[in-house]
Amino acid sequence: MSHRYLVLGSGMQGSACACYFAKYGDAKQICMADISEDTAQKAADRINQLTRSHLASAEVINVKDHQKLVELMKNYDAVLSAIDYSMNVDITKAAIEAGVHLCDLGGNTNVVREQLKLHPQALEKNISIVPDCGLAPGLGNTLAAYGIELLDECEEVQVRCGDLPQNPKPPLQYKLVFNIRGLTNEYFGKAWILRNSEIQEISTFTECEELEFKSPIGKCEAFVTTGGTSTCPWSFQGKVKNYAYKTVRYPGHYEKIKCMMDLGLLDTTPVKVNGCEVAPRDVFHAVVPSHIDFPEDKDLVVLRATCKGTKSGKAKTLCFEMILFQDEKTGFSAMEMGTGFPAALVLIHAARGQAQKGVVSLEKALDNAKYMEELIRNGLPIEKMDS
């Protein structure tokens, strides 16, 4: 059975999702929708060129126009939102009204919890709506959920993930791969974790640790950031004692950002400069991107999900690891593929009727074994290691 897909947001991740639909989603139609006609058309042209098809078309849409969004959605079977997470509750309401399946790239746990409140309405429409389906939150939590299923009892889950430059450069040993505001959003605020069987809210940009990946990556550091656990602490409370997520960077990144934080250079409270009020973080957002953009440099993604527990009465550790490099053939970055491909496959499963109905957390929505088998078969290099 073929499906009609609508992609809201025709930028980097949205284009990767669309390419995956064209290759693996039994697509008969793909609409690239964006507030910018030029962006939407360029994305559609790129998808058609990469897939040697005429599946993709372009559409201009302002997702804040609820009625027009609902009318557009009604023309499709399934919708992927690559729009900023702040719009996801409204987009969820529109999908329910239109009666179409929906997945989004998420990024904010409080927004997801508001979406979950709409479960009865989505269930009544017999549709699947799955938030937070990208990389982290997203694939990292699916790997964790799958590992928990494979153990008789699970004591601890640790998810570590990061997008890194293949050739790190100063000043931060980091290459900007999305909007700078998204980066600082991850670094500031609170993170939800499971610790000693209790759901706890802890500060971000804390608990820095060292870890190592195989060559060519080597030694890295990881620290607490917001959003990565998504709803897993609530889903797994009573099943898992400890569940936590940290973002991976090259050594030295944490200390440099922490120094700027401690000096107040990332504060949001305005200060007076030559008679004008300005927030230090706004200056950071305006000045820093051009110094860490490196548009010609290639990236890679590291993802590691470790589940510790018991199997058949013996201690057992399951480790899932993915090291994903930028695709030379298509030009998709590792971040675009690592975020877009897992999300696209969630929506494909929803369109096929293989996902739970209603608004459902990702870790509860899928047959994780079948999903992981298909994701790996379609090219994501995920390895499973037992000890």
Q: What's the CATH number where 326 sits?
A: 3.30.360.10
In-domain check, residue 385:
no
Rounded to whole angstroms, the Cα distance separating 191 from 228 reads 8
In-domain check, residue 91:
yes
Domain assignment of residue 172, given as a range: 139-334
91 and 102 both lie in a single domain = yes
126 and 147 both lie in a single domain = no
In-domain check, residue 387:
no
For 85-123, write each residue's pLDDT tens digit. 999 999 999 999 999 999 999 888 999 999 999 999 999
- Quote the radius of gyration of the chain (alpha carbons, Å): 20
The whole-number pLDDT of residue 177 equals 79
265 and 148 both lie in a single domain = yes
Stretches in the chain below the pLDDT threshold 50: none
- Number of domains composing the chain: 2
Q: What's the CATH number where 80 sits?
A: 3.40.50.720
288 and 154 both lie in a single domain = yes
242 and 324 both lie in a single domain = yes
**pTM for the model:** 0.95
Separation in Å, CA 1 to CA 6, 140, 248, 296: 17, 29, 40, 40
In-domain check, residue 319:
yes
Last residue of one domain, picked from the residues 296, 313, 334: 334
**CB–CB of 186/109 below 8 Å?**
no
33 and 7 both lie in a single domain = yes
328 and 342 both lie in a single domain = no
198 and 307 both lie in a single domain = yes
Rounded to whole angstroms, the Cα distance separating 13 from 291 reads 23
The whole-number pLDDT of residue 1 equals 80
The whole-number pLDDT of residue 279 equals 95
Cα angle value 241/244/245 (rounded, 5°): 160
56 and 118 both lie in a single domain = yes
Give the β-pairing of 314-325 and 299-311: antiparallel
